Structure 1
Amino acid sequence: MAVLEAFDLYRFFHTPESETLALRGVSLRLNEGELVALVGPSGSGKSTLLACLSGLDEPDGGHVELLGQRLTRRTEAERARRRGANIGILIQSRNLFPSLSVTDNIGLAMFIAGKMDNDRTKHLLAEVGLANRAAARPGQLSRGELARAGLAVALAAAPRILLADEPTGEVDAITESSILDLLSKQCSAGVAVLVATHSQALAARADRIIHLRDGRIGDA
């Protein structure tokens, strides 16, 4: 079952001196319970695509459908409501509010989605190996701990879809392995996972690999 689909997406960025075509007619389908790796060189449009798929950004052409309903061309409030209820997002940095503890960051994500669940908070902290760091603030965490805490926040509201941008980009091999195990476990529970990555280990675990280059989907 398709939970997220993109149809012929285009995205332009303008400056006074130039115009960058970041996405050039990208179409894709993300199915329930699959792990898909989005790979390509830096500057290929991976982060831009994730932003359009999540409704954080609007494409200049084409549209996105979330659970069979259009996400594109909705008001920001409506996109945020649908995103909060169905999509977990992990970006490369600033996934946590620095003034809040790990527990409170997870709780805030749940509150925004209207899905408060203290038992799930404890379960997520245990799942990402941060039960003993629940009261720590982001500034007190290592890079590996920040990555795992960000993943817990992204999964806080039990999303149908997880969109992750380089979740293992700055972690060691042991932490990467634990993150990959958790992503696989989410897929087994029916969550659709799309990960932008340069990691060969992550790509090797994926059900499918989508190659993006110069804003277009193509062969490796």
Structure 2
Amino acid sequence: MSVLEAHELYRFYHVGDDEIAALRGVSLFLSAGEMVSVMGPSGSGKSTLLACLTGLDEPDGGYVTVRDRLMTRRPEADRATIRAENFGILLQSGNLFQHLTVRENILLSMQLSGRKDRERLTALLQAVGLSHRERAYPAQLSGGETARAGLAAALAADPPLLVADEPTAEIDRVAEERLLDYFEARRAAGKTTLVATHSASLAARADRIIHLADGRIDNV
């Protein structure tokens, strides 16, 4: 069963007189219970693709559907509703509210989705290795701790679709293995995970790997 489909996505950016094609006709689908990795060199379009799939950015051409609902070219309020109902999103930065503690950031994500679950909060903190840092503010965290806290917030609502941009970029091998086990548990529960990554370990656990090069899917 397909939970997300993208058809011929194009995205262009303009820098001065230059036009940069970040996406050049990318089509893909995600099925329930899949773990899919998006790989490619820096500048290949991975982050732009994730932003378009989640409705955080609008493609210049093509469209995205999420559970048969059109995400593309809808008012932001509609896109936000679809995101809240379907996605957990981890960006490379800006995933935490600076005035809230780690614990409060996770609780807020739960409350917004109507899932205030204290036991799940405890389990998430343990899964990302931050039980001892739950009262810390983002400014007090290391880069790796910040990444793990952001991931916990993205997973707080147990989303049907987790979209993560370089989730293991700033964490050590032990923490990476713990997160990979968490992704495996999501797959076993029929939940879908899409990650943009440079990690060979993460990609090796994926059901499929989508290779991007110069804004296109490279069928290597």
Q: TM-score range by the shorter chain?
A: over 0.9
Q: Confirm or deny that 1:135 pairs with 2:135.
A: yes
Alignment of 1:15-26 (within 5 A): 15-26=15-26
Q: What is the Cα deviation at residue 32 of structure 1? A: 0.9
Q: What is the Cα deviation at residue 46 of structure 1? A: 0.2
Q: Secondary structure at the match of 2:83?
A: helix
Corresponding residue of 1:188: 188
Deviations 1:50-100 (A, max 9, x none): 000000011111100001111111110110111012100011112111211
Contact 2:127-2:178 at 8 Å conserved across structures: no
Greater shift after overlay, 24-33 or 172-181?
Answer: 172-181
Q: Secondary structure at the match of 1:186?
A: helix
Q: What is the Cα deviation at residue 110 of structure 1? A: 2.2
| d(CA) in 2 for partners of 1:76, 1:112 | 17
Contact 1:81-1:113 at 8 Å conserved across structures: no
Corresponding residue of 1:105: 105
Q: Confirm or deny that 1:157 pairs with 2:150.
A: no
Structure 2: any 5+ residue segments left out of the alignment? none
Deviations 1:27-65 (A, max 9, x none): 000111111110001000000000000000111111000
Alignment of 1:82-93 (within 5 A): 82-93=82-93
Corresponding residue of 1:202: 202
Q: What is the Cα deviation at residue 122 of structure 1? A: 2.2
Corresponding residue of 1:76: 76
Q: What is the Cα deviation at residue 118 of structure 1? A: 3.0
Q: What is the Cα deviation at residue 121 of structure 1? A: 1.9
Q: Secondary structure at the match of 1:152?
A: helix
- AA matched with 2:113: A
| d(CA) in 2 for partners of 1:76, 1:116 | 26
- AA matched with 1:55: G
Corresponding residue of 2:115: 115
- AA matched with 2:197: T
Corresponding residue of 1:37: 37
Greater shift after overlay, 119-128 or 27-36?
Answer: 119-128
Q: What is the Cα deviation at residue 155 of structure 1? A: 0.7
How many aligned positions are there? 220
Contact 2:8-2:27 at 8 Å conserved across structures: yes
Corresponding residue of 1:172: 172
Q: Scaled by the length of structure 1, what TM-score is found?
A: 0.95
- AA matched with 2:51: A
- AA matched with 2:32: E
Contact 1:85-1:157 at 8 Å conserved across structures: no
Deviations 1:107-130 (A, max 9, x none): 222233333333322222222222
- AA matched with 2:145: E
Contact 2:129-2:175 at 8 Å conserved across structures: no
Runs of 4+ in 1 over 4 A off after TM superposition: none
- AA matched with 1:177: E
Q: Scaled by the length of structure 2, what TM-score is found?
A: 0.95
Corresponding residue of 2:63: 63
| d(CA) in 2 for partners of 1:192, 1:97 | 26
Q: Confirm or deny that 1:7 pairs with 2:7.
A: yes
Deviations 1:141-191 (A, max 9, x none): 222222221111001112100000001112221121111111111111111
Structure 1: any 5+ residue segments left out of the alignment? none
